[in-house]
Amino acid sequence: MTNTVPSQTVPSTISDVERDTGVAKETLRVWERRYDFPRPLRDPNGERVYPIEQVQKLRLVKRLIDLGFRPGKVIQYSAAELQALSGKAAGSGQDPAAPAPELQGYLDLCKSHQMEALRRKLSQALLMMGLKSFVTELVGPLTTLVGDAWASGQLATFEEHLYTESLTVVMRSAIFAMPQANGNHVNAPRILLTTLPQERHGLGLLMAEAMCVAEGAHCISLGVQTPLLDIVDAARVQRVDIIALSFSVAMNPRQVLDGLAELQVRLAGAAELWAGGGNAALKRRRPPYVRVFGLADVAGAIAAWRARHAALAVG
């Protein structure tokens, strides 16, 4: 007997699930046959649709796969078991439901929808810590915590969006307040920042921009989901030295590698490719033509670019 979706629910289509979890459509179908999960319902047209509980579990399964687990080992676990295993595998050393004390206050404000108070608290921390420390020591861990809470269903999607918008307001103001390097200065790399069309998460990109500006780079941000040919055109028109791309864990690793490969061909060496983020493709199958950095590596990466640029100028 075929299950049909109850009228009171609003489940996700298979395209929605691919976008929100980073698990490809064909992989979802294979898991359905091989592991009997997920177990999609059918809409009136007979198309697969997925209840929110299954989508949340798929997020946890994808997180564990990114940490090195095989699907067959984890897919039959309950959501609670997956969450506990994820916390242990990530080396947190603590119950994932109990965030670090210094981050708990931010998460509580997000959960209680006190966004004005959250922005004030973030702004105060920025003033006390300075931009670079604010990004690496607070925003990075806090964003990971918010992502974990969203993946496990502890934080609604709209609450994660509220956090993203609040942090964006604070960080964008801080970036604007920084003295922008002259784009024609020989010692200031021109960096184009964006994401590929399949990547809609922009906080990693914003954090990278903040770190680059703090190191004296001239940054040109296109925001998220820029068509690949437009990235190439913008790089040519803006005469950039570096294209910096952000890849979250939600993006399909195959699409990451395919997009980077096509960019490399179309750029033909006109600009360096830099990448960052938590996507598995950057950890397991790092392409040799892409420089991969964490936020804490940005200062060293820009210093190394300056050294290479100076050597070429002398040569």
Nearest to 147 by CA among 70, 73, 222, 86: 86
Q: Tens of pLDDT along 236-267?
A: 999 999 999 999 887 888 899 999 999 999 99
The yes/no answer on whether domain 101-177 falls in CATH 1.10.443.10 is: no
Q: Tens of pLDDT along 204-225?
A: 999 999 999 999 999 999 999 9
The domain at 12-89 falls in which architecture?
Answer: Orthogonal Bundle (1.10)
The yes/no answer on whether domain 190-314 falls in CATH 2.60.120.680 is: no
Nearest to 194 by CA among 223, 237, 230: 223
What are the residue ranges spanned by the domains of the chain?
12-89, 101-177, 190-314
Identical fold at 12-89 and 190-314?
no
The parts of the chain modelled with pLDDT lower than 50 are: 1-2, 4-8, 92-97
Using alpha carbons only, what angle is made at residue 235 by residues 203 and 274, rounded to the nearest 5 degrees?
50
Contact assessment for residue 44 and residue 4, using Cβ atoms and an 8 Å cutoff: yes
pTM of the predicted model as reported, rounded to 2 decimal places: 0.76
